[in-house]
């Protein structure tokens, strides 16, 4: 289902663990861009030069890792069509990725509503180039049909991923530094799912170029998307 | 280690809002009352004879339920003149099968709470971060310890009661406290409204109208 090419599979990355964060850390950004710039992909990568990347990172509201997670080699199966597809979007487009579940009444719909609002504020030529990849962290209850109705209520076009194998789900999550865990069953059989509540943007080169924490205002997401589009080369 | 050093997370004016309010698990009181302001005495006085137990509920709303959604959430602002607790809520069976009080909390699954130890080479940045943290981040600064925010997950849990300190506005909002509607009988449609009965430990019950909007 999730396919990793041998050459690129680094397994569950722990690059984020104990990672440092800073607030507009210009000094740090500059240093790291110089030291890591050589790893940038050639085609479609955001930030063609270290200067551009630095400027972009400084202007984005979301979280920017200096060594962006790379999911270029990751493919998934769309639960709606059964088609295998890369996580990375086609050239010139951006793809949002979110791990959530449809029984979630608070965090997931809030984030998806924020995305909907953000996309509405973008000009059509940009919003039309943004798609959403929704990965269910609750495949037991989230059938393809339920996912379709739920996600499509917020954002289209969308792609739906439903991995019944918990290991495959964990592996996909790990590529984004995400995780999820099923909570205890209640008397009525229902349960909640704890999950990473970040929204990711992936560029055509497969770089996770920004991560938005839950609660990021929709106008900040919209503004970041505009910046990301301006950086697509 | 090298890899760790590469990770600099640039936070530029992200409003963490509700997420940060909920991120300190075990600190429910703070989450529940964050972003609140004391209600001026004059406001309480205007409620006349019900001052002691008067409950004010404003901005009660629920998000339009997505197609196929089983559950929904209701948010509102609650102010009780006297100390009280919201202990339950109910809706007509035509709305949902069950109603529970819930809270979304941030749980750190990685177990690491402190990752600030930086090498000497980054002392300049460190100072900068500290300065900015205090000035712009507030409590949000604790949110992304560990691997960005990826090490933390958000999780809902039922709560027995929502504390209402006297005269403080407690906000039920996305990413924090909410009234959860379980097994929606039918979709919540934009522009519609329904009645929600709130049960307070001291003040008794109060029925409010919940407006459904896109949110």
CATH code of residue A138: 3.40.30.10
Q: Does residue A5 fall inside a structural domain?
A: no
B39 φψ region: left (φ > 0), alpha (ψ -120 to 50), beta (else): beta
Mean pLDDT of B30-40: 38
Quote the number of domains for chain B: 1
Which pLDDT score is estimated for A59? 87
Residues B116-152 pLDDT 10s: 222 222 222 222 333 332 222 222 222 333 344 455 8
Cβ-based burial of B212 (10 A; exposed 0-12, middle 13-18, buried ≥19):
buried
Helix (H, G, I), strand (E, B) or coil at B141: helix
Min CA distance, A125 vs chain B (Å)?
24
**Tokens read off for A98:** 């979110």
Residue of B nearest to A54 (CA): B10
Instruction: Look up the domain containing B18 and give its range.
Output: 2-213
Residue B26 Cα to chain centre, angstroms: 14
Tell me if B57 sits within 8 A of B206, measured CB to CB: yes
Tell me if B156 sits within 8 A of A104, measured CB to CB: yes
DSSP A142: -
**Tokens read off for A162:** 């439903």
Q: Does residue A33 fall inside a structural domain?
A: yes
Cβ-based burial of A83 (10 A; exposed 0-12, middle 13-18, buried ≥19):
exposed
Is the pLDDT at B57 greater than 60? The verdict is yes
Cα angle: B80, vertex B58, B107; to 5 degrees: 80
Quote the number of domains for chain A: 1
Residue of A nearest to B16 (CA): A215
Q: Does residue A212 fall inside a structural domain?
A: yes
Q: Is B34 on the interface with A (CB under 8 A)?
A: no
Instruction: Look up the domain containing A58 and give its range.
Output: 26-231
Collect all residues of chain A within an 8 Å Cβ-Cβ radius of residue B128.
22-23, 25, 27
Report CA-CA distances (Å) from A206 to A59, A71, A138.
Answer: 21, 5, 25
Which pLDDT score is estimated for B20? 32
Q: What is the pTM of this model?
A: 0.71
Say how far apart CA A146 and CA B71 lie, in whole Å: 13
Helix (H, G, I), strand (E, B) or coil at B1: coil
Min CA distance, B40 vs chain A (Å)?
29
Task: Give me the torsion for CA of A112, A102, A90, B7, rounded to 10°.
Answer: 70
CATH number of the domain to which B25 belongs: 2.60.40.1890
The per-residue pLDDT string of chain A (233 residues; one tens digit each, 9 = 90 and over) reads 333 333 333 333 333 333 333 333 333 332 233 233 333 333 445 544 555 666 666 789 999 998 999 999 999 999 999 999 999 999 999 999 999 999 999 999 999 999 999 999 999 999 999 999 999 999 999 999 999 999 999 999 999 999 999 999 999 999 999 999 999 998 888 899 999 999 999 999 999 999 999 999 999 999 999 999 999 86
Say how far apart CA A173 and CA B192 lie, in whole Å: 37
Residue A9 Cα to chain centre, angstroms: 18
Q: Does residue A18 fall inside a structural domain?
A: no
Say how far apart CA B117 and CA B99 lie, in whole Å: 45
**Tokens read off for B213:** 């909007």
Say how far apart CA A170 and CA A161 lie, in whole Å: 13
Helix (H, G, I), strand (E, B) or coil at B19: helix
Min CA distance, B26 vs chain A (Å)?
16
Instruction: Measure CA of the first residue to CA of the last residue in chain B; give whole Å.
Output: 43
Residue of B nearest to A102 (CA): B69
ipTM: 0.76
Q: Does residue A35 fall inside a structural domain?
A: yes
**Tokens read off for B209:** 């109208």
Which pLDDT score is estimated for A61? 94
Q: Which of B41, B12, B114, B111 is nearest to A213 (CA)?
A: B12
Q: Count other Cβ atoms within 10 Å, centred on residue A192.
A: 24
Which among B137, B153, B175 has the least Cβ separation from residue A106?
A: B175
DSSP B31: H
Helix (H, G, I), strand (E, B) or coil at B184: strand
Instruction: Measure CA of the first residue to CA of the last residue in chain A; give whole Å.
Output: 30
Which pLDDT score is estimated for A50? 55
Q: Count other Cβ atoms within 10 Å, centred on residue B51.
A: 13
Q: What is the CA radius of gyration of chain B?
A: 20
Collect all residues of chain B within an 8 Å Cβ-Cβ radius of residue A60.
10, 12
Q: Does residue A129 fall inside a structural domain?
A: yes
**Tokens read off for B95:** 């709305």
Residues comprising chain B, all counted: 215
Say how far apart CA A210 and CA A46 lie, in whole Å: 11
């Amino acid at each position: 289902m999730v396919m990793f090419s041998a050459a690129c599979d680094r397994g569950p990355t722990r690059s984020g663990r104990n990672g440092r964060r800073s607030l507009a850390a210009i000094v740090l950004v500059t240093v790291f861009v110089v030291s890591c710039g050589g790893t940038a992909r050639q085609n479609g990568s955001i930030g063609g030069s270290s200067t551009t990347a630095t400027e972009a990172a400084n202007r984005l509201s979301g979280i920017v890792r200096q060594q962006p997670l790379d999911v270029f080699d990751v493919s998934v199966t769309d639960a709606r069509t059964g088609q295998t597809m890369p996580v990375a979007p086609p050239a010139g487009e951006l793809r949002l990725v979110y791990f959530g579940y449809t029984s979630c009444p608070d965090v997931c719909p809030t984030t998806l509503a924020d995305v909907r609002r953000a996309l509405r504020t973008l000009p059509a030529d940009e919003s039309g180039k943004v798609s959403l990849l929704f990965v269910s962290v609750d495949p037991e209850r989230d059938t393809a049909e339920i996912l379709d109705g739920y996600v499509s209520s917020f954002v289209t076009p969308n792609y739906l991923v439903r991995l019944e194998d918990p290991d495959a789900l964990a592996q996909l999550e790990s590529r984004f530094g995400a995780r999820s865990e099923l909570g205890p069953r209640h008397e009525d059989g229902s349960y909640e799912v704890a999950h990473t509540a970040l929204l990711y943007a992936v560029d055509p080169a497969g770089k996770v170029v920004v991560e938005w924490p839950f609660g990021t205002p929709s106008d900040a997401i919209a503004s970041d998307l505009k910046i990301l589009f301006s950086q697509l080369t | 280690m090298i890899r760790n050093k590469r990770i600099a997370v640039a936070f530029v004016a992200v409003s963490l809002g509700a997420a940060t309010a909920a991120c300190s698990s075990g600190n429910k009181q703070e989450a529940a009352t964050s972003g609140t302001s004391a209600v001026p005495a004059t406001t309480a006085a205007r409620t006349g004879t019900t001052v002691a137990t008067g409950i004010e509920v404003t901005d009660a709303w629920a998000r339009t339920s997505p197609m196929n959604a089983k559950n929904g959430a209701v948010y509102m602002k609650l102010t009780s003149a006297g100390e009280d607790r919201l202990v339950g809520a109910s809706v007509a069976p035509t709305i949902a099968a069950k109603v529970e009080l819930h809270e979304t909390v941030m749980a750190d699954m990685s177990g690491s709470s402190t990752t600030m130890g930086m090498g000497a080479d980054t002392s300049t940045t460190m100072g900068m971060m500290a300065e900015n943290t205090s000035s712009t981040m507030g409590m949000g600064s604790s949110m992304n310890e560990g691997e960005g925010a990826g090490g933390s997950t958000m999780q809902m849990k039922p709560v027995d009661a929502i504390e209402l300190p006297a005269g403080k506005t407690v906000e039920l909002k996305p990413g924090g406290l909410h009234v959860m509607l379980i097994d929606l009988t039918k979709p919540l449609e934009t522009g519609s409204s329904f009645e929600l009965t709130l049960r307070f430990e001291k003040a008794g019950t109060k029925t409010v109208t919940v407006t459904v909007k896109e949110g």
